């Protein structure tokens, strides 16, 4: 990261957590209602998750699950789901995390558990958390979990920057977290989007730099 270091926003990677957003099979590029560019960033997402695990840092997979019929959907998606389309329905394969994102041997996302508001433990230091709207903190137990884990820096990655990652980043900034965006591990990223979130005090950083930092090296641009 270039420029003058800001003591109020500079990431503390030694007390960080990786937050993946909506990295679920129904949102992958090739899915009928998938988001372009999401499958393409899976290699970087896997690399980030592996590095955080190896460093003993938490990994939280924030997921969206839609009731069949759209009863819990955002208004903008309600008509689509009322038409009979099933998207990330609890218990469906489409609701599961993309292959290789969770640690080996992890259970699939338990829709009943996570929609009740309880974080699902996927392995040591790894969790799934359900969000009922765009942002990862809205109506969730994420902040309580992060407080319990003594986390003050969040590294965001996943699907897709203009919507859920952006909303989650804004909510994190409102809660005074130090925030990093894995700029090459998020779909639908743009130069304008990166400039806008940088204005919030967010640090866009590539996967290689984040991996180096979280494993004890120096962050590089």
Q: Give the total number of structural domains in the chain.
A: 1
Question: To 10 degrees, the CA torsion angle through 188, 161, 156, 35?
Answer: -60
* Residues of the domain holding 91: 13-214
The string of pLDDT tens digits covering residues 133-186 is 999 999 999 999 999 999 999 999 999 999 999 999 999 999 999 999 999 999
- Does the pLDDT of residue 191 top 60, yes or no? yes
117-129 confidence digits (pLDDT tens)? 999 999 999 999 9
Asked if the structure places residue 219 within a domain, the reply is: no
CA quadruple 77, 83, 84, 85: dihedral sign: negative
pTM: 0.95
Q: Quick check: is 117 in a domain?
A: yes
Tell me the per-residue pLDDT of 29-88, one tens digit each, with 9 for 90 and over. Answer: 999 999 999 999 999 999 999 999 999 999 999 999 999 999 999 999 999 999 999 999
> Residue 184 maps to which CATH number?
3.40.50.850
Q: Is residue 86 part of a domain?
A: yes
């Amino acid at each position: 990261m270039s420029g003058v270091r800001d003591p109020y926003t500079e990431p503390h990677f030694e007390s960080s957590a990786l937050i993946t957003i909506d990295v679920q099979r129904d949102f992958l590029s090739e899915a009928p209602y998938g988001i372009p560019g999401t499958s393409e960033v899976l290699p970087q997402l896997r690399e980030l998750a592996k590095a955080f695990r190896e460093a003993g840092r938490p990994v939280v997979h924030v997921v969206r699950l839609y009731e069949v019929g759209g009863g819990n959907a955002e208004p903008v998606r309600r008509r689509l789901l009322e038409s009979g389309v099933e998207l990330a329905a609890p218990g469906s394969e489409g609701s599961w995390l993309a292959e290789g994102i969770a640690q080996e041997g992890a259970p699939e996302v338990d829709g009943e558990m996570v929609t009740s508001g309880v974080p699902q433990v996927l392995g040591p230091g790894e969790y799934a958390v359900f969000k009922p709207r765009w942002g990862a903190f809205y109506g969730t137990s994420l902040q309580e979990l992060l407080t319990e884990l003594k986390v003050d820096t969040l590294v965001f990655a996943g699907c897709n920057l203009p919507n859920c990652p952006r909303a989650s980043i804004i909510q994190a900034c409102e809660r005074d977290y130090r925030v990093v965006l894995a700029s090459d591990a998020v779909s639908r990223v743009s130069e304008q989007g990166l400039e806008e979130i940088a204005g919030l005090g967010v640090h866009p950083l590539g996967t290689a730099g984040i991996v180096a930092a979280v494993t004890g090296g120096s962050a590089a641009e």
